[in-house]
A and B are shown apart, each in its own frame.
Chain A
Amino acid sequence: MPAFEDIKNDFAFLEDWEDRYKYLIDLGRSLEPYPEELRNDAHKVRGCASQVWLATEKTGDGDDSVITLKGDSDAHIVKGLIAVLIALYSGRSPQAIADTDAEAALAPLDLSDHLTPQRSNGLASMVRAIRAIAEESVNA
């Protein structure tokens, strides 16, 4: 899995939709396997037309705490979007996640088609779910 900055740089070189989609699909394929025991309703993200699962794990305490994300989808492009979000958010502190403006961060990737709340692929729902977990952790 490349880092978010690398993904951003790669996207800058991808000119047409076909290459972008292929890149996203490959990113999704590079995700580490999602734990089968977490493939359940409790980890399903609502508001996505395809099936999306998202699991978080918090390690460490206070300012040293870090949230690790795992995710999966039965749709290739959506799985690629999950990979982008994992690159953006995973391994960061709850405060850093809460402070990250996903829309601004993803703007250079030109994924705005996917970010409007009405879009049924649910990228916006995933961002909301991740932020909710981080904010809960910050406020705890």
Chain B
Amino acid sequence: MSIDVSAIREEFPILAREIYGKPLVYLDSAASAQKPQAVIEAMTHAMEYSYANVHRGLHLLSNEATTAFEDARATVATFLNAASPDEIVFTSGGTDAINLVSYALGVDEIREGDEIILSLMEHHSNIVPWHLLRERKGAVLKWLDVTDDGEIDLDVYRSLFTPRTKLVAISHMSNVLGAPTPAKALTQIAHEYGAKILFDGCQAAVHGKIDVRDIGCDFYAVTGHKLYGPTGIGVLYGRMDVLKTLPPYRGGGEMIDTVTTDTVTYNDPPHRFEAGTPPIVEAIGLGAALLWLSAKGIDAVAAHETALRTHATEELRKLNFVRIYGQSAEKAPIIAFAVDGAHPHDVSAILDRQGVALRAGHHCAQPLMKRLGVTATARASLALYNTHDDVEALIKALHKTHEMLS
């Protein structure tokens, strides 16, 4: 099965926009993906026709909204191949999902001197929550180096474990280098040493099939807005035996069993971690996005994206003024690069005027920038709605950029 990209583009109203009179070439999907009509309609329908608060009411609208919300949870469970929808905690995003784990493990499990292993290519959202635990609890952060291509040496990884290692928090795919990490092997080694493992799957979940049961991980964090869904919604997958041991993250409605003036007992997962009214419409939107993406066929999507990445890489390599960061053969269409003699912000500003939207900056990965010896890079990230014409437009615009700056 292959995908019909021009039909898919029709499903994204925003792709018809012009930028400074030029057709939009959107190459910033790793920062946030555009939304298909199916998502927009699911959210609009929820608000126009079937909206009320969830779980609490006994009236028809509340029942409908609750059903739609819980159906979305089941859709996420299927998408990640979790054992049960109860292993899916809705959060406000990937960052929130990781902060939940950091907070909950910090209540009792991670103590002074306990060690957390992180890789040098983590996004700040998978670094700063652990720095908070370092500050709050005296946890020790241990850093796993990566190759220039974002690959991991499992022997080096193994050498970082000690009896004090409590957790590995690592990306399943770098948001800069685009290389997937060997999730299953990383998990097996962590578990050999009795440590838990959390994956930041915010990028990986967009570009290929995720099977948390096959990986065997304890936690897997995903955000909605990179997966063609809305902002304000994310997911923490936690294996049920692990979730059951975690204390609550925030207090409020919905997460309790009983409350008296003197005592409180907590609800079971996942509701224990969902205090207050959840992002109902956003969860429904995420469910719609995952159904939509799954219907395209995740393998077909990956094949299209690989073709785009191969094309873009070949064309960029022909430009003697461009340097690509990360050359893993398995990488997703996330391509960080530098243009000789130009700051990435110059590149982005000049490309913008030509209708090409991409990211320039440190990509919330300052330790990786330091590791690569740069302060910033440009990054073109492609998605299933991008075309080979988009790649050509990028190359043409880069020629002009180079010409203007030299």
Q: Are A49 and B404 in contact (CB under 8 A)?
A: no
Contacts of A121 in B (CB 8 A): 345, 349
Q: What separation, in Å, do the CA atoms of A91 and B343 have in the docked complex?
A: 29
Q: Which residue of A17, A21, A78 contacts B345 across the interface (Cβ within 8 Å)?
A: A78
Contacts of B345 in A (CB 8 A): 49-50, 75, 77-78, 120-121
Q: What separation, in Å, do the CA atoms of A50 and B346 have in the docked complex?
A: 10
Q: Are A50 and B376 in contact (CB under 8 A)?
A: yes
Q: Any chain A CB within 8 A of the CB of B20?
A: yes
Q: Are A17 and B343 in contact (CB under 8 A)?
A: no
Q: Are A75 and B404 in contact (CB under 8 A)?
A: no
- Assuming the contacts A49-B361, A77-B349, A120-B361, asked whether A21 and B404 have C-beta atoms less than 8 A apart, the reply is yes
Contacts of A73 in B (CB 8 A): 343
- 15 A-B pairs in the complex with CB atoms less than 8 angstroms apart: A17-B20, A21-B353, A21-B404, A22-B404, A49-B345, A49-B376, A50-B343, A73-B343, A74-B343, A74-B375, A76-B346, A77-B345, A77-B350, A78-B345, A121-B345
Contacts of A74 in B (CB 8 A): 343, 375
Contacts of B360 in A (CB 8 A): 49
Contacts of A76 in B (CB 8 A): 342-343, 346, 405
Q: What separation, in Å, do the CA atoms of A19 and B350 have in the docked complex?
A: 11
- In the complex, residue of chain A having the shortest beta-carbon distance to the beta carbon of B353: A17
Q: What separation, in Å, do the CA atoms of A51 and B404 have in the docked complex?
A: 21
Task: Say how far B397's CB is from chain A's closest CB, in angstroms.
Answer: 12
Q: Which of A17, A22, A25, A76 has the most CB of B within 10 A?
A: A76
357-394 of chain B: CB within 8 A of chain A? 360-361, 375-376
Task: Say how far A45's CB is from chain B's closest CB, in angstroms.
Answer: 14
Which residues in A have some Cβ–Cβ distance to B below 8 Å? 17-18, 21-22, 25, 49-51, 73-78, 120-121
Which residues in B have some Cβ–Cβ distance to A below 8 Å? 20, 342-346, 349-350, 353, 360-361, 375-376, 400, 404-405
Task: Say how far B398's CB is from chain A's closest CB, in angstroms.
Answer: 15
Contacts of B343 in A (CB 8 A): 50, 73-76, 78
Q: Are B349 and A21 in contact (CB under 8 A)?
A: yes
> What does DSSP make chain B's interface, helix, strand, loop or mixed?
helix
- In the complex, residue of chain B having the shortest beta-carbon distance to the beta carbon of A50: B345
Contacts of A77 in B (CB 8 A): 345-346, 349-350
Contacts of B361 in A (CB 8 A): 49, 120
Task: Say how far A37's CB is from chain B's closest CB, in angstroms.
Answer: 21
Q: What separation, in Å, do the CA atoms of A25 and B361 have in the docked complex?
A: 20
Contacts of B346 in A (CB 8 A): 25, 75-77
- In the complex, residue of chain B having the shortest beta-carbon distance to the beta carbon of A48: B345
Task: Say how far B8's CB is from chain A's closest CB, in angstroms.
Answer: 31
Given A50-B345, A75-B343, 14 more A-B residue pairs with CB atoms under 8 Å apart are: A17-B20, A21-B404, A22-B404, A25-B346, A49-B361, A50-B376, A51-B375, A74-B343, A75-B346, A76-B343, A76-B405, A77-B346, A120-B345, A120-B361
Q: What separation, in Å, do the CA atoms of A76 and B361 have in the docked complex?
A: 15
Task: Say how far A112's CB is from chain B's closest CB, in angstroms.
Answer: 14
Q: What separation, in Å, do the CA atoms of A34 and B376 have in the docked complex?
A: 21
- In the complex, residue of chain B having the shortest beta-carbon distance to the beta carbon of A76: B346
Task: Say how far B401's CB is from chain A's closest CB, in angstroms.
Answer: 10
Contacts of B344 in A (CB 8 A): 75
Q: What separation, in Å, do the CA atoms of A76 and B350 have in the docked complex?
A: 11
- In the complex, residue of chain B having the shortest beta-carbon distance to the beta carbon of A22: B404
Q: What separation, in Å, do the CA atoms of A50 and B345 have in the docked complex?
A: 7
Task: Say how far B344's CB is from chain A's closest CB, in angstroms.
Answer: 8
Q: What separation, in Å, do the CA atoms of A22 and B405 have in the docked complex?
A: 8
Q: Which of A73, A74, A75 has the most CB of B within 10 A?
A: A75
- In the complex, residue of chain B having the shortest beta-carbon distance to the beta carbon of A17: B353
Task: Say how far A138's CB is from chain B's closest CB, in angstroms.
Answer: 33
Task: Say how far B359's CB is from chain A's closest CB, in angstroms.
Answer: 11
Q: Which of A50, A73, A78 has the most CB of B within 10 A?
A: A50
Q: Which of B343, B345, B350, B404 has the most CB of A within 10 A?
A: B345
Contacts of B404 in A (CB 8 A): 18, 21-22, 25
Contacts of A18 in B (CB 8 A): 353, 400, 404
Contacts of B20 in A (CB 8 A): 17
Contacts of A50 in B (CB 8 A): 343, 345, 376
Q: What separation, in Å, do the CA atoms of A49 and B404 have in the docked complex?
A: 21
Q: What separation, in Å, do the CA atoms of A22 and B342 have in the docked complex?
A: 13
Q: Which of B20, B343, B353, B360 has the most CB of A within 10 A?
A: B343
Task: Say how far B22's CB is from chain A's closest CB, in angstroms.
Answer: 11
Q: What separation, in Å, do the CA atoms of A77 and B342 have in the docked complex?
A: 10
Q: What separation, in Å, do the CA atoms of A18 and B404 have in the docked complex?
A: 8
Q: What separation, in Å, do the CA atoms of A84 and B361 have in the docked complex?
A: 24
Q: What separation, in Å, do the CA atoms of A18 and B349 have in the docked complex?
A: 11
Q: What separation, in Å, do the CA atoms of A18 and B180 have in the docked complex?
A: 39
Contacts of B350 in A (CB 8 A): 21, 77
Task: Say how far B261's CB is from chain A's closest CB, in angstroms.
Answer: 47
